[in-house]
Chain A
Amino acid sequence: MVDSNASSGSPEETPNPNPDGNAPSESDLTLDALARKVQESLSLGKKHKFWETQPVGQFKDLGNASLPEGPIEDPTPLSEVKQEPYNLPSPYEWITCDIDSEEMVNEVYNLLTNNYVEDDENMFRFNYSKEFLRWALNPPGYFRNWHIGVRVKSSKKLVAFITGVPARIRARDHVVNMAEINFLCVHKKLRSKRLAPVMIKEVTRRVHLENIWQAAYTAGVVLPTPISTCQYWHRSLNPKKLIDVGFSRLGARMTMSRTIKLYKLPESTVTPGFRKMELHDVPAVTRLVRNYLSQFVVAPDLDENDVEHWLLPKENVVDSYLVESPETHEITDFCSFYTLPSSILGNQNYSTLKAAYSYYNVTTKTPLLQLMNDALIVAKQKDYDVFNALDVMENESFLKELKFGPGDGKLHYYLYNYRLRQELKPSQLGLVLL
């Protein structure tokens, strides 16, 4: 079953491996796209000077089925890729960040901790741990010079950062070498200097130099043009703290007492054979995950090295559990989440929000609802405050029932220099970016 269509030639002639892949909702999607298009032209119409010059799907092409799927631009010969870095304003210079160096990871950590993504009301800011950054930035085959910093020449202070890591991502039947672009961060005091576009161009140039021509990234804002738009959902594990810090609110008619009761979880997991993933599980988990992800239109193509890196548990970074059948000792199910704390800004009692983010989950025997409930239980045991999940893959099937509530955050997924014929439903997307 593993990627049975991978070798067939033309995507148009290949029968869709997933019966509810794209056919039923075509009209829905077109409507959505049109609505978005109108909304775009009203509110954001002129804001994409930069992206309109880039090989990305453009708003004006939405719903134009005559455009072929695949790369938008052909690769240029490597000799024609610009060899020198782009120019920065004169006080600044490019550096390559060696994330293995304790000193450098500290600098990056401090930049992100003080300047990275916040919520709309500026009450929380992501606080990726150093171990997390090492994990996220040094996967198999990573390129050190895709970890790009900008610093002030005179003071050597790091003021901006952007990264790429290599990933094989499958879009329908084509596995494409891509870069996953992430951690774009410009110091708050330099945001008026418009560094972001030149940083994006610079990372693109360095990706091109490795003969890679596609990329995947996400954003909270609408740019040209999302391949899919997903929504965050949240499951309270520590409702009292979440209310106290303003992550969630207590309605006027709701009592704290009842809210706490509502989110109470059993002390221990219920699925027999549920245990932590270990190194010797890598081959079995790889088979399970590959097979599962093959049903989605866009998903990573993970081999054993990737699984060992991305899915083997790492303390306070990524947690993975699986179900080993007590009788056959076969690995039948798998779930995982990564750890992304946030700083709580301006609260006297609490400084950190500990959040688990649903990563890749696979079931063949256990009901997904039950498996995810067990994931919630271990997250609660490990003292997480909230469990977050996107509505990607099959997540929608358990969100409401497991008492996840909708979030105010929309996450838009993008591919650089790769066109899909139509926007995907979140359930057609098998990709989670950190």
Chain B
Amino acid sequence: MVEWQQLLQSILLGLIFSYLLAKLISVVVSFKDENLTLTRARSSTDQVRPKSESKGGESRDEPSGDMGAVHDVDSVIAEHGSVRNESPAGSDDDDDDWEGVESTELDEMFSAATAFVAAAAADRLSPQKVSSDVQLQLYGLYKIATEGPCSTPQPSALKMAARAKWQAWQKLGAMPPEAAMEKYIDIVTELYPTWLAGLTLKNKGGDGDAPNNDSKGPMGPVFSTFVHEEESGNDFKMDAIHAFAREGEEDNLLKAIESGVSVNLKDSEGRTPLHWAVDRGHLNMTELLVSRNADVNAKDNEGQTPLHYAAVCEREAIAEYLVKQNADTVVKDNDGNSPCDLCDSNWPWMQHSANK
């Protein structure tokens, strides 16, 4: 009897042992299959983390599976950031012959949502637990949206998680990808009502990098423009009235004159408000100043009149107006040049009045 019991016991132990061994092997195998998710096994929503698209087929062992894969949460966020940042600039200048292959708003929204889910999983910023049912639902929708209807064989019953995911995918049948994307976004919005706001916030935070990366592209030349250098504070001085004239602020300028500021007040370079208005090309301001008895032949410290400025800056309408207001076309500056000498353009009224 004792022998019977011992025999039974050892058979049972053997069975249990071999079951465990088989289980262990299957676990190892399934880990190997899913090595991409292994590292995130502890995070609450790991099962819905988008996995590498397997369209790359044989290129799975290639050094990088960059095609659409969500390897790296940060870079995906950055990428979506840059895509979103670009859209205002590039949205509507070349639409004409586009033929329906663009990544639509839905595409972008969807990939933003997947990125958000991945980020939420990684950061564990979800206070509430997402039920595994919902996780599976998201997983199924993700697969439909990215790969279409499920066509892979059912995983073995021992791989519980893989099988549950497969079922979640398979039961959605031939759902259209767009519908899957919309549903996915709906669920994410329900779970995290503020996810979009959070995303835009992150974009703003990363302003320094993202647009740069985007406009400069991953490789190639660079478009550079002048660095704007603030002039160092030398002893240059100007009054408010000069700034009003420079900026074309007529109301402020009138107030200044009414409060008693001279219309011919000079800045430290000897320029009057009229010089500044002409320099910046404000015809209205020029007329206003002249109507307030500004001196059309006032000279700056280099002996130049507003008409010199108009000639050098090729402000044709202003120059013509000044000449009509009896501005001197032949008066010489300290270098001996008259407005006429400095004028590269062929303005007949300038030559004409100079010849008189």
Contacts and interface: CB of A to CB of B under 8 A. Distances in A.
Interface of A: 43-44, 46-47, 49-50, 53-54, 86-87, 89-91, 114-126, 152, 154-155, 157, 159, 181-185, 188-194, 196-198, 200-201, 217-221, 223, 232, 234, 240, 242, 246-249, 251-257, 260-261, 342, 345, 388, 405-411, 414, 433-434
Given A157-B99, A191-B86, A117 B217 contact: yes
Of the candidates B213, B225, B246, B304, the one having the most CB atoms from chain A within 10 angstroms of its own CB is B225
Given A159-B101, A253-B231, A194 B225 contact: no
28 contacts: A47-B75, A86-B59, A87-B55, A90-B55, A114-B93, A118-B223, A120-B216, A123-B225, A124-B225, A154-B101, A157-B99, A189-B98, A190-B103, A191-B214, A198-B66, A198-B67, A200-B219, A220-B216, A221-B217, A232-B224, A234-B225, A247-B225, A255-B271, A255-B309, A256-B313, A257-B309, A405-B229, A433-B221
Contacts of B312: 256-257, 260-261
Contacts of B214: 191
Residue of B107, B220, B228, B236 with most chain A CB atoms under a 10 A cut-off: B220
A293 B130 CA distance: 64
A193 B103 contact: yes
B128 interface: no
Given A189-B103, A409-B225, 19 more contacts: A53-B64, A115-B94, A118-B89, A124-B223, A124-B225, A157-B98, A184-B218, A188-B90, A197-B66, A200-B218, A218-B220, A218-B222, A219-B220, A220-B221, A251-B231, A253-B231, A255-B271, A388-B224, A406-B226
Contacts of A220: 212, 216-217, 220-222
B80 interface: yes
Interface of B: 55-57, 59, 62-64, 66-68, 71-72, 74-75, 78-80, 82-83, 86, 89-90, 93-94, 97-103, 107-108, 111, 208-209, 211-231, 236, 238, 243, 246, 271, 275-276, 279-281, 304, 308-309, 312-314
Contacts of B90: 115, 122, 188-189
Contact of B279 (A159, A181, A255): A255
A408 B227 contact: yes
A193 B110 CA distance: 12
B94 A120 contact: no
B27 to A, nearest CB: 28
Contact of A234 (B216, B218, B224): B224
A120 B304 contact: no
A152 B93 CA distance: 20
Contacts of B62: 201
Contacts of B219: 181, 184, 200, 217-219, 223, 414
Interface of A is mostly: mixed
The listed residue with most A CB atoms (<10 A of its CB), out of B55, B82, B221, B314, is B221
Nearest to B215: A118
Q: Tell me if B's interface is mostly helix, strand, loop or mixed.
A: loop
Contacts of B102: 189-190
Nearest to B310: A257
B93 A345 contact: yes
B222 A257 contact: no
B226 A248 contact: yes
A312 to B, nearest CB: 22
A411 B219 CA distance: 10
Contacts of B211: 120
B263 to A, nearest CB: 19
Contacts of B67: 87, 89, 193-194, 197-198
A126 B221 contact: yes
Contacts of A194: 66-68, 79
Given A124-B225, A257-B313, A155 B100 contact: yes
Nearest to A91: B101
B226 A120 contact: no
B222 A154 contact: no
A188 B54 CA distance: 25
A222 to B, nearest CB: 10
Contacts of A115: 90, 94
Contacts of B55: 87, 89-90
Contacts of B304: 257
A117 B243 CA distance: 37
A92 to B, nearest CB: 8
The 4 lowest CB-CB distance pairs between A and B, nearest first, are A409-B224, A220-B216, A53-B63, A407-B224
Contacts of B226: 234, 242, 247-249, 405-408
Given A159-B101, A234-B226, A408-B225, A221 B64 contact: no
A257 B279 contact: yes
A123 B223 CA distance: 10
Given A46-B74, A87-B55, A188-B86, A221 B216 contact: yes
A223 B219 CA distance: 9
B63 A54 contact: yes
A249 B208 CA distance: 21
B221 A434 contact: yes
Contacts of A154: 99, 101
A185 B217 contact: yes
Nearest to B314: A240
A56 to B, nearest CB: 12
Nearest to B269: A255
Contact of A221 (B83, B107, B213, B231): B213
A117 B222 contact: yes
B24 to A, nearest CB: 32
A365 B108 CA distance: 60
Given A53-B63, A154-B101, A249-B226, A182 B220 contact: yes
Given A46-B72, A193-B103, A194-B68, A122 B225 contact: no
B92 to A, nearest CB: 11
Contacts of B78: 47
A46 to B, nearest CB: 5
